[in-house]
Structure 1
Amino acid sequence: MSEAAVKQPGALMAAESAQALEVFGRAAATDLAARLASLAPGRLRAFYTVARGSSDAAANVLSYEIMRETGLPVTSLPPSVFSIGEGVDLAGCGVIVISQSGGSNDLVRAARGAKARGATVIAITNAPDSPVEAEADVTLPIDAGEERAVPATKTVVGAIGTGMALLSALVPGYAARARASARAVSNGSTGLAAAGDIRSVLLRAQHVYVIGRDTGYGAAQEVALKLKECCALHAEAYSASEVLHGPLQLVTKPLTVLILDTGAPEIQESLDTAEARLREGRATVIRIRPSDAGFAGLTPAAAAAVLLAILYPVVLDTALALGHDPDAPDTLSKVTRTT
């Protein structure tokens, strides 16, 4: 891409998000069995994820997939447990650190501290030889290529794909489904018939709920973050069950709701219930499925990745229509260094 083209608002995000499906397909199909031979689930008692921002949303997607396939508990571990605290006992646990840059101080300290407290640390990053990788026992590159836009896109779906490759190495019976999903995603496109309708609704929105369940909840977290990051639009992510508690009261005021439906049969009842309750109020509700863009037969994590890939262009177009340059939001930088 020429430097003149790069200077056009949103040009970087457009080019990078257009690579998301290809990056995912390549990552999810990677054979990591030899590299991860020492990490059989029988040798581990739990997994923890350590991440921030979009990487944390990707970690949430993966946590549901890993729990379902391994039967082991997976939960998020705040980096501050190690960066400002004394840490916790992690003997016999796997700790998955996800970071596009691999450079944030708190993640580096968390990786170092987790290893010191007995964990096997697995780093998923898009930055070779990063500080996080230096602290890890195993490094799994996303291999998405350079990402210059501030909003992460292809590296987010790439991290999900890399996590699926990790799971394939741990659970051989999962590998065939992961590879089939990788092929289906690689052969698909991000064309979404309802993209214009979603954009029109978002342009009128003041407050947005993004709803999901299981892996779709992780996708909802990422879409809500992107609406804030790119569009300066107030958005919150909720699970389809949690939204029926206190947050439901906001339907008494104008509210826009995006429901991210991975298509998994076991989540349909809860999504249907949430949709019905939200429509009873003043909410404008749109439900989005991978099948809307022609995808089928995906694992739940792959379906969540596809939902992100097909919604990134919608977020981009909405941001541009609102007068924002999503490549360079006013208050943000590409690498966020936290402690």
Structure 2
Amino acid sequence: MTKTPGSIMRAEINEAPARFAAMVQRDLTSALNPLSLDKVRAIYSVARGSSDAAANILSYEIMARLRLPMTSLPPSVFSLGNGVAMEGTLGLILSQSGASSDLVQACRGIAENGGQTLLITNSAASPASALAQATIDIGAGPELAIPATKSVVATIAAGMAFLARLDASYRPACEMAAQAMLAMTTRTIPNKAALEAALSEAGSVFVIGRGCGYGAAQEMALKLKETAAIHAEAYSASEVLHGPLQLASNPLTVLILDTGENRVQDSLNTAETRLRGVGARVFRISPADFGVTDVSPAGAAAILLAALYPVVHDVTLQLGLNPDTPENLAKITDTV
């Protein structure tokens, strides 16, 4: 227990913008030299929890820029099964600790099945890094609160820097994202108090996004669950209009994460209209609310998370819980 509940998580949230800005502008040429990236025809991410949400964010950005398919593989394909053919692919393993048994086995299994392996981690001296062909150390520094915050945005930054190494024209987007993120240190969500009040009273929460915003929605739903013990589910703005919409028959709070992508606006608008129409309490958050425009979708997703982590922190305290140490969780979860 900490002397002041939430003080550790609060300090790490405050570090997040600088950690993101440093990582997203890093030149990864030497780190990626062991890989033959010109031979990659598809990318498969392997991750769990917040790292998997970061991978989802990155997948939309990477596919849009490189036009290479990128999707996730469950670690159990390698840890419990015999793996899959990986020739011509890059296995992108994302793990803050690099220590979970299933991810370590996945790293080994990808290589054994013909794939290249790249690890994005906050622990360069880890079992997974000993196996990976190449490692990106996100440089987030020690993260002592159980809920991950600064390491998540730094992981997104690492993926963006990786993309800039493959597509030099993406480098300006990384620089703009760094500047926008650093500006966030003096800005807050305009309706923060109302959002916190709604979340504190919520029985169930939908967090909705589209494109890179969907991965951000996954991370925010996870944070509400693991930190504040609030039942929250993430949905794509398209998927929520099918079966999940019926849950709005009961009181429902909805948080829409809008990355500002033009192509997703119609989808988000439709979801917002439908959910408001059935009585849900809807909050829509965009980087434009803080004066941030012209940032890449992945950068916008990271900015939304950095802006919303303080909300989760404060709501958790309002509910009488300690965000530093959720009682049923551990910092490293070892799964097989």
TM-score by length of 1: 0.96
1:171, CA displacement in angstroms? 0.8
Q: Are 1:123 and 2:119 counterparts? A: yes
Identity of aligned residues (%): 52
Q: Do the aligned partners of 2:184 and 2:307 also contact (CA within 8 Å) in 1?
A: no
Q: Do the aligned partners of 1:95 and 1:121 also contact (CA within 8 Å) in 2?
A: yes
2:113 maps to amino acid: R
CA distance in 1, matches of 2:218, 2:145: 19
Aligned to 1:129, the other structure's residue is in SS state coil
Pairwise mapping of residues 293-304 of structure 1 onto structure 2 (< 5 A)? Answer: 293-304=290-301
Q: Are 1:96 and 2:122 counterparts? A: no
CA distance in 1, matches of 2:233, 2:225: 9
Name the structure 2 match of 1:191.
188
Name the structure 2 match of 1:206.
203
1:231, CA displacement in angstroms? 0.8
Name the structure 2 match of 1:284.
281
CA distance in 1, matches of 2:191, 2:25: 30
Instruction: Identify which of 17, 22, 28 aligns with 1:21.
Output: 17
Q: Are 1:168 and 2:164 counterparts? A: yes
Instruction: Identify which of 291, 309, 317 aligns with 1:320.
Output: 317
1:180-216 C-alpha deviation (Å, 9 max, x unpaired): 2222212332522211111011011000000000000
Change (3 A) 1:40 1:264: farther
Q: Do the aligned partners of 2:54 and 2:215 also contact (CA within 8 Å) in 1?
A: yes
Q: Do the aligned partners of 2:259 and 2:300 also contact (CA within 8 Å) in 1?
A: yes
11-20 or 178-187, larger mean C-alpha shift: 178-187
CA distance in 2, matches of 1:81, 1:165: 28
1:159 maps to amino acid: T
Name the structure 1 match of 2:214.
217
1:90-138 C-alpha deviation (Å, 9 max, x unpaired): 0110111011111100000000100111111100000121111111000
CA distance in 1, matches of 2:308, 2:36: 35
* Backbone CA RMSD of aligned residues: 1.3
Q: Are 1:140 and 2:136 counterparts? A: yes
Q: Are 1:274 and 2:274 counterparts? A: no
Aligned to 1:247, the other structure's residue is in SS state helix
Change (3 A) 1:40 1:276: farther
CA distance in 2, matches of 1:329, 1:247: 28
Structure 2: segments with no counterpart, 5+ residues? none
CA distance in 1, matches of 2:31, 2:322: 41
Change (3 A) 1:262 1:280: same
1:176, CA displacement in angstroms? 1.7
Instruction: Identify which of 79, 83, 87 aligns with 2:75.
Output: 79
Q: Do the aligned partners of 2:92 and 2:117 also contact (CA within 8 Å) in 1?
A: yes
Name the structure 1 match of 2:176.
180
Aligned to 2:284, the other structure's residue is in SS state strand
1:25 maps to amino acid: A
1:208-261 C-alpha deviation (Å, 9 max, x unpaired): 000000000000000000000011110000000000110011111110000000
CA distance in 1, matches of 2:159, 2:3: 33
What is the number of residues matched between the two proteins?
335
1:40, CA displacement in angstroms? 6.5
Name the structure 1 match of 2:6.
10
CA distance in 2, matches of 1:99, 1:79: 12
Q: Do the aligned partners of 2:35 and 2:133 also contact (CA within 8 Å) in 1?
A: no
Aligned to 1:122, the other structure's residue is in SS state strand
1:82, CA displacement in angstroms? 0.2
Aligned to 2:29, the other structure's residue is in SS state coil
Aligned to 1:103, the other structure's residue is in SS state coil
Aligned to 1:151, the other structure's residue is in SS state coil
